[in-house]
Amino acid sequence: MRIPSTRDPASRSHINPNIRSQINPRRRPHIDPNRRSHIDPLRRPHINPNRRAYIDPRRRSYIDPFQRSHINPKLSSAIDPKRNSSIDPNIASNIAGLYIFSENCQPIGFTVKADKEVILIFDTESEWIGFLVATGDGAFNQFDLSKNWIGFWCNTGENSFNIFNINRKWIGFTT
C-alpha cells in the first residue's frame, strides 16, 4: 500500500499519536473513552449498536452492505478498489479515504466512503474486511463482514480517528 508522505505517521510527527499527545488517547483524556463516558458506547446507549437499532446493520437494512447493492463493493465497482484504481492506494498516489494504522504506526488498511452513513474498510491488499456505521455524533461503530460489532472509531478533532476495540482498548488510528 502506497502512503503519501503527508499522511504517513512515520514521516510526519504531527499525525503520529505516539509523538503528538493531542491525538493520543493515553495522554489526552478528552479523546479517551475509558476516561470520558460521552464517547464510550458501553456507557452511552445512544452510540451502542447493541442498544440502538438505528445504528445496527443486523436490525436496519439501510446500513447493511449485504442488503443494499450500492454500498457493497462486491456488487458496485465504484466502491471496489480492485475494480476502481482511483480508490486503490496500491495504485493511486493519494486516496480520498482514510489510511488505517496500528497503534505502533504499521499500515493495516484504508477506507472507502460508500454513502453518508457507511464507510468500507479494506486491508493493505484491497480485500474488503469490514465496515463502519456513523453514530450520528462524528464517531463510527466498526463491524466485521459477519455484521458483528467489533469496535468503534472516535474523532480526534483533527481530521483523524482513534480506533478502539469493544473493550475500549486503543488499537489504532487513521490519517
Q: In this structure, how many other beta carbons lie within 10 angstroms of the beta carbon of residue 52?
A: 18
Please state the domain extents for the chain: 5-174
Q: Beta strands of the chain (E only): which ranges?
A: 99-102, 107-113, 118-122, 128-134, 140-144, 149-155, 161-165, 170-174
Average pLDDT, the chain: 96
Residues 108-128 pLDDT 10s: 999 999 999 999 999 999 999
Task: Give the tens place of pLDDT for each residue, 54-77.
Answer: 999 999 999 999 999 999 999 999
Q: For residue 44, what is its C-alpha cell?
A: 452511552
